[in-house]
Chains A and B, each alone.
Chain A
Amino acid sequence: MRKFIKRYRGFLIMVILLIVVSVVNFELGKDAFNRAVSTIKEMILIIPPIFILMGLLDVWVPKETMVRFMGKGSGLKGIILSFLLGSAAAGPLYGAFPIASVFMKKGVTFSNILIFLGAWSTTKIPLVLFEIESLGLTFALTRLACNIPGILFIAWILSSLVSQKEISDVYEQNITMQNGKMS
């Protein structure tokens, strides 16, 4: 029980906050509750398939293959592949983090992981099509023309701002997490 409370401490604090908000302003609290419920619905739809794909990726694709395509020395090929994989994705950015975690275990470079995250967040193909439809071609293309170099720039700047030691610590932690231990 204490372990449960410790693990879900943050969540319990949020629930208490929600209750306090509802007492102060019932309408706002009700609105927040309804929106939380619709977020749960969205997550229930998106999250299980992403985690299952992650599990399959982990089990079926050997580390050597991933390293060859997206690891050290994969160069331009790795960059393009990271872009394509991210752009082909579905779902909000939070779905990309578990996949990125498996990528770390499989030896994908840090900058390629960042490119993958960047592509997932801004160049997802279904979303871009929808954007063109809603906001027009000029808007969508300008945004992409800005965001694509931006993704590369952010990957580059983060790789240079974070030390090798810090990166390998994060990789270590993810590998431990993947192997089922709690951190």
Chain B
Amino acid sequence: MSVIILYALMVGLLTLSWIKNRQKTRIALQKAFKALENILPEFLIVIVLVGLLLALINPQFISSLIGQDSGMWGTFLALLVGAITLIPGFVAFPTAAMLLVEGAGYMQIGGFISSLMMVGIVTFPVEKRFFGTKISLLRNVSAFLFSILVAIGIGFVMGEL
């Protein structure tokens, strides 16, 4: 769904741009291509890294970590798994719903979803290129710490704490 919106936006704006000024549009496309080419090595690293990690950390494995009665330790592991992996939302939410059915607690799922969204260990090579090591590190660490609070907050609201 969001991909369709993204493409509609791109095609719409590109057409508008082309009508208004062809030269500028050409420059925009050149810039886009150059920027993409520039960051390509980092993206390629991320692709292989994601493949390896997802093969190791598959849903069955996650389920075994954060299953029923896994408690605080399970929440911590859920946060960690969320931080490491890169799973698109349309896969992550159904997976999370499935884990809930299989007995994972809301607290674990909350931590997993939050760190999955905010923390990106595998995408670190890309982030580092744009933000430098220090800022990327600080952002990921603070997002991870914050995800602990999200897990606690959700555990509290859902009546698990």
Contact = CB atoms under 8 A, between A and B. Distances in A.
Contact of B2 (A15, A91, A161): A91
Contacts, number: 237
A135 B116 CA distance: 15
Mostly, the A contact residues are helix
Interface residues of A, number: 83
B110 A14 contact: no
Given A42-B88, A45-B3, A35 B50 contact: yes
Given A52-B10, A150-B146, A153-B146, A130 B32 contact: no
A134 B123 CA distance: 26
Interface residues of B, number: 79
Interface string A65-95: 0000000000000000000000000111110
Nearest to A36: B51
For B1, B51, B143, B157, the residue with the greatest tally of chain A CB atoms inside 10 Å of its CB is B51
A142 B139 contact: no
A21 B6 contact: no
A182 B129 CA distance: 11
A55 B51 contact: no
Given A11-B48, A36-B51, A52 B14 contact: yes
Interface string B105-147: 0100110011001101001011101111011001100110010
A118 B118 CA distance: 7
Contact of B123 (A40, A94, A118): A94
A163 to B, nearest CB: 10
Contact of B154 (A8, A32, A143, A150): A143
Interface in A129-157: 130-131, 133-135, 138-139, 142-143, 145-147, 150, 153-154, 157
9 contacts: A49-B6, A55-B31, A117-B139, A126-B1, A130-B90, A142-B158, A146-B149, A150-B146, A150-B149
Given A91-B6, A145-B153, A166-B134, 7 more contacts: A92-B88, A94-B120, A142-B157, A147-B117, A154-B142, A167-B135, A170-B131
Can you list the 5 inter-chain pairs with the closest CB atoms, starting with the nearest? A36-B51, A55-B32, A90-B2, A55-B28, A134-B93
